Amino acid sequence: MTKHDYKQNAYYLMYLIRCVLNNRTPAKEKLGKMDLSGVFAVAKAHSLTAIAAYALESAGIYDKDFEEEKNKAIRKTIILDAERENVFAEFEKAGIWYMPLKGIIIKDLYPQIGMRQMGDNDILIDNTRQKDIKEIMLSNGFRVESYNISKHDVYYKDPVSNFQMHVSLFDKNEKDPRYCYFKEIEKRIISDSNSNYGRAFTDEDFYLYIKAHEYKHYSTGGTGIRSIVDTYMILTHFMNKLNMQYIETECEKLGIAEYEKQSRELAMHLLGGVKLTAGECEMFDYIIFSGTYGTFENVINNKVNKSGDFYFAKLKYIKSRLFVAIRKSDPKYKAYSTRYKWFYANRVRLPLLFFYRLGLALTSRQSRAKAEIKALRKI
Q: How far apart are CA 112 and CA 204, in angstroms?
A: 24
CA-based nearest residue to 187, from 99, 102, 92, 122? 99
In whole angstroms, give the CA distance from residue 293 to residue 227.
Answer: 10
Closest of 237, 284, 243 to residue 110, by C-alpha:
237
Same domain, 244 and 285: yes
The 10s digit of each residue's pLDDT in 295-324 is: 545 554 555 455 555 555 555 555 555 567
C-beta separation of 213 from 294 below 8 A: no
Domain boundary residue among 297, 326, 345?
297
Phi, psi of 145 (to 5 degrees): -95, -35
Quickly state the pLDDT bin for 360 (edges 50, 70, 90). Answer: low
pLDDT of residue 287: 95
Q: Specify the range with the lowest mean pLDDT, choosing from 43-57, 131-145, 173-187, 259-273.
A: 173-187
What percent of the chain has a predicted confidence (pLDDT) above 70?
Answer: 84
pLDDT tens across 85-121, in order? 999 999 999 999 999 999 999 999 999 999 999 999 9
22 plus 89 within the same structural domain: no
Cβ proximity of 265 and 201 under 8 Å: no
Distance set, CA 232 to CA 47, 141, 210, 250, 326 (Å): 16, 37, 12, 20, 44
Mean pLDDT of 268-276: 96
Largest CA distance in the chain: 70
Helix (H, G, I), strand (E, B) or coil at 309: coil
Domain finish residue from 19, 36, 62 = 62
Q: Does residue 160 belong to any structural domain of this protein? A: yes
If asked whether residues 213 and 270 sit together in one domain, one would say yes
Residue 68 lies in a domain: no
Of the candidates 30, 41, 106, the one whose C-alpha atom is nearest the C-alpha of residue 69 is 41
| Tens-place pLDDT, residues 134-157 | 999 999 999 999 999 889 999 999
Distance CA 126, CA 268 (A): 36
* Nearest-angstrom CA–CA distance, 260 and 245: 13
In 3D, which of 125, 103, 256 has the Cα closest to residue 181? 256
Lowest mean pLDDT among 188-202, 299-313, 318-332: 299-313
Same domain as 325, residue 372: yes
Q: Do residues 226 and 272 share a domain?
A: yes
Last residue of a domain, one of 244, 268, 297: 297
Domains: count for the chain: 3
**CB within 8 A of 334, min separation 6: which ones?**
149, 150, 172
Task: Count other Cβ atoms within 10 Å, centred on residue 378.
Answer: 9
Whether residue 326 is predicted with pLDDT greater than 60 in this model: the reply is yes
Dihedral of alpha carbons 186, 293, 70, 57, sign: positive
Amino acid present at 351: P
Q: Could you give the angle at which helices 203-218 and 244-254 cross, rounded to 10 degrees?
A: 40
CATH number at 175 reads 3.30.460.40
Model confidence pLDDT, tens digit, residues 223-258: 999 999 999 999 999 988 999 999 999 999 999 999
- Phi/psi of residue 144, each to 5°? -85, 120
- Specify whether 215 is located in the same domain as 352: no
Domain hosting residue 43, numbered range: 1-62
* The pLDDT of residue 337: 75
**Domain identity same for 170 and 80:** yes
For residue 155, how far is the Cα from the chain centroid? Answer: 17
Residue 372 has pLDDT above 50, yes or no: no
Q: How far apart are the first and last CA of the chain?
A: 23
Q: Are strands 161-166 and 143-146 parallel, antiparallel or unpaired?
A: unpaired
Residues 115 and 171 in one domain: yes
Q: Are 58 and 16 in contact (CB under 8 A)?
A: no
